[in-house]
Chains A and B, each alone.
Chain A
Amino acid sequence: MRITVVLHPWHEMDTEECDRLVRQACTLAGQATVAVWVYQGDTHPAAVSARLADSLAQFAEKQLVLLPTGTDSEAIAAMAAARMGGISLGRCSALQFVGDALIAQRAAFGGRVALSLRSQAQVTFATLRPQGDPGSTSATAQTLEIVAHDPAPFEVQALPAGTGHPRIEGSPLVVSGGRGMGGPEGFEWLTRIALALGAGLGGSLPAVDAGWVPVSHQVGQSGKFVTPKLYFAVGISGTMQHMAGVSAGTRIVALNNDPNADIFSRCDFAVHGDWREILPLLTLLLENQSPVN
């Protein structure tokens, strides 16, 4: 058995999470060989998947290929698996070897159903966000850096950034709004609050659908996974699809005008009220004592 962890320029996990992924691979390994391949350079996901498949094809033993979670990771895994006649299990929450087989846990139906899958394929790909501390192991991994230069198959022009919305990736505090905001005005307050706190700005799928916040800020099963210390959820009901994008270790602060909203059974601090009354007051308070200003 051989385990390869593949890192690339577009994954959505931070350095600490990637380290945990490598440690998770070592913990899984037992007697297996663990390698970490780091793809860098001016390349694109399809080219990385082709290079990866070609490189993995040299090994005769059974293989598990792990990638950090993220849209491009899932694409690389699926394309490389198809190219090799292997299996891509998708975004897994846990992996375990039982004898010669790999048992994977993964979500379906927007995080409401858990599947347990058994892969007996020669090459199995999975994306994984390690849950908790993988524990100690004597196994070690060898790292190989691969610098690739692959022209993109299309002409690509980057559009100027600067939506004015602070990024959620890596932020220790995320301020997020949902359908209950009722319109874009609330997001103007949330943006000011996020800027005052040095926080990221997020949104639920309905808020992105409505155009109140860009898709790059979407939190949830179909959006980004965030791991802040605090998650301030405003007008968010707390569906499983949304909460699947928030780390279990995150403390949740909820503001909602529906006293029966599911979010109130998941949060650490709860405020029942109308954001139209409370957010303007909160904004002024924070802007006057902001750690950022």
Chain B
Amino acid sequence: MEIALFISGVADPKWPVPQALSVASLQAHTAQFAALSPFDEAALELALAMRDRESDTHITALVCGPESLARRVAGWRPDTLHRIDLQAVPSWHCSAVSDALAQALQALAPAASIMLIGREFGDFDDGSVPAGLSFYANTPYISLVLSLQSAPSGWSVMHQSANGMEHVQISSRALLGATNDPGNRLRHPLMKNVMMAKSIKLPIWRATAPPSAAHVPLEGVHAVVEPPRSSACEWLEGTAEQKAASLARVLMSGVQA
């Protein structure tokens, strides 16, 4: 069984975004402070857990981030790892990113039967990239996946749907959008693998921009400023009992309003 694992990376949110905002400064910021997103971590752990259970599982990691991120992922010892260079594709153009990822999949892991990807792909996406990828890769998509298990006729997936939790039985190729859950919390890598990852060779696959990439020019980028407060904050002071009583009054008034 072959798993293709897409890793986007994000800029570590602990670091503030640059004051002089531009596409270039954001790219540099992302490269400098690259980290796995919670959804990258979930996808990676789902792949590793499947390999633990099924020893013939082969994981091909496709890392769309800087070298430092690719080496970090290599510390979990995927069977194959490629860096995907998306410099030619506008990050904010989700359709173009999806198209490029489908090309990478076709070139680097065409035999993959399970494709794992975080439910949001990087700092510019809020869920469009995985869905678009499912179209370009011509494969069904299951979003908000929490767990993946082998089943007699394929795989069993637990996911969060709009109607609640569902078990889905998969018998053919599928793209799974992983979400964070305590059951797929990323394990720590083994130190020997982390050390080996420092010197591993990382092949790069360079994406070309699809023709549609020119259809969404970026007009501007600016920092979000929180809206000014419309009223003063009221501090509820006193002993713990007094604070609890004040909170009860405020919350009850909210219910009764």
Contact = CB atoms under 8 A, between A and B. Distances in A.
Interface of A: 9-10, 12, 46, 70-72, 74-79, 81-83, 85-91, 103, 107-121, 153-159, 161, 172-173, 193, 197-199, 205, 208-211, 214-216, 221-222, 229-230, 232, 239-241, 243, 248, 251, 253, 255, 264-274, 277-278, 281-282, 285-286, 289, 291
**10 tightest CB-CB pairs across the interface, nearest first?**
A211-B182, A230-B254, A281-B244, A10-B162, A75-B131, A78-B131, A82-B135, A78-B128, A116-B219, A159-B165
Contact of A291 (B21, B143, B163, B256): B256
A14 to B, nearest CB: 14
A90 B125 contact: yes
Interface in B228-257: 229, 231, 233-236, 240-241, 243-248, 250-252, 254-257
B253 to A, nearest CB: 8
A156 B132 contact: no
A285 B26 CA distance: 49
A264 B236 CA distance: 12
B221 to A, nearest CB: 6
A89 B90 CA distance: 12
Nearest to B30: A109
B125 to A, nearest CB: 7
Nearest to B146: A215
A291 B252 contact: yes
B216 A90 contact: no
Most B CB within 10 A of own CB, among A72, A117, A154, A172? A154
B215 to A, nearest CB: 4
A136 B146 CA distance: 44
Contacts of B248: 282, 285-286, 289
A117 B218 CA distance: 5
Contact of B222 (A114, A117, A158, A270): A114
Given A216-B164, A289-B248, A112 B257 contact: no
Given A229-B257, A269-B234, A90 B218 contact: no
Nearest to B134: A79
B112 interface: no
A194 to B, nearest CB: 10
A248 B128 CA distance: 25
Contact of A79 (B131, B170, B220): B131
A108 B221 CA distance: 10
B217 interface: yes
- Pick from A78, A83, A88, A278 the residue with the most CB of B within 10 Å: A78
Contacts of A71: 119, 127, 143-144, 162
A159 B136 CA distance: 31
A140 B216 CA distance: 29
A159 B158 contact: yes
Given A110-B123, A117-B218, A117-B219, 8 more contacts: A71-B144, A114-B223, A115-B220, A118-B216, A157-B166, A158-B163, A159-B165, A268-B231
Given A91-B126, A239-B13, A270 B166 contact: no
A270 B229 CA distance: 14
Interface stretch (B61-69, B91-99, B191-199): B91-99
A113 B224 contact: yes
B81 interface: no
Interface in B53-105: 92-95, 98-99
B212 A154 contact: no
Contacts of B94: 78, 88, 90
A270 B124 contact: no
